[in-house]
Amino acid sequence: MMIANAEKLREALDEEKEPKVKWKLSFVSLVAGGMKVEEATAHFGIGIATGYNWIRCWNSEGVEGLVRKKIPGRPPKLDEEELGELKRVLKAKPYWSVKEVMRLVKELFEVNYSDEQTRRILVGKLGMNYAKPFVRDYRRRKDAKISSLRG
């Protein structure tokens, strides 16, 4: 397979800072230097189809073809504005269980989340923490004082 713009390839290899792109450029450079694609893929530990894809991307788009493109995922069920509203509502009460938050999200936004996804949203997107409830001894008198363990 022919490699287009061999001079441009050498320049790009010298100038590139991103390690993954530089790695791909090194592969294409080896093939441009005369190494068979099958040998180069074995040397780099990649599949033959991947090697041909990198060469095709270089030939059609240059360096930009070798830069990994961000693949968008599924859009979130709650947008940033709704997450902000949820956070404001959650701050009104000091303690929430995950089940309570799930019901609240269902009531306010008509969106169903699993327990695990609700936890991810609370911790990851809203910056909230888990807290273990303070255990109170049922035998303790109501008027008892808390003593310090430090002398």
User: 3-state SS of 92-146?
Assistant: CCCCCCHHHHHHHHHHHHCCCCCHHHHHHHHHHHCCCCCCCCCCCCCCCCCCCCC
Query: Is 29 within 8 Å of 13 (Cβ atoms)?
Result: yes
Residue 113 in tokens: 């989340």
- Report, as an integer, the average pLDDT of 3-10: 81
pLDDT greater than 80 at residue 2: no
Read off the pLDDT band of 52 (50, 70, 90). very high
- Report, as an integer, the average pLDDT of 82-108: 93
Whole-number pLDDT of residue 151:
46
Domain ranges of the chain: 6-66, 80-125
- Report, as an integer, the average pLDDT of 8-32: 91
Q: Name the least confident of 20-29, 102-111, 126-135, 140-149.
A: 140-149
The pLDDT mean for the chain works out to: 88
Percent of the chain clearing pLDDT 70 (strictly above) = 93
Read off the pLDDT band of 70 (50, 70, 90). confident
pLDDT greater than 60 at residue 149: no
Whole-number pLDDT of residue 130:
78
Q: Name the least confident of 26-30, 39-43, 133-137.
A: 133-137
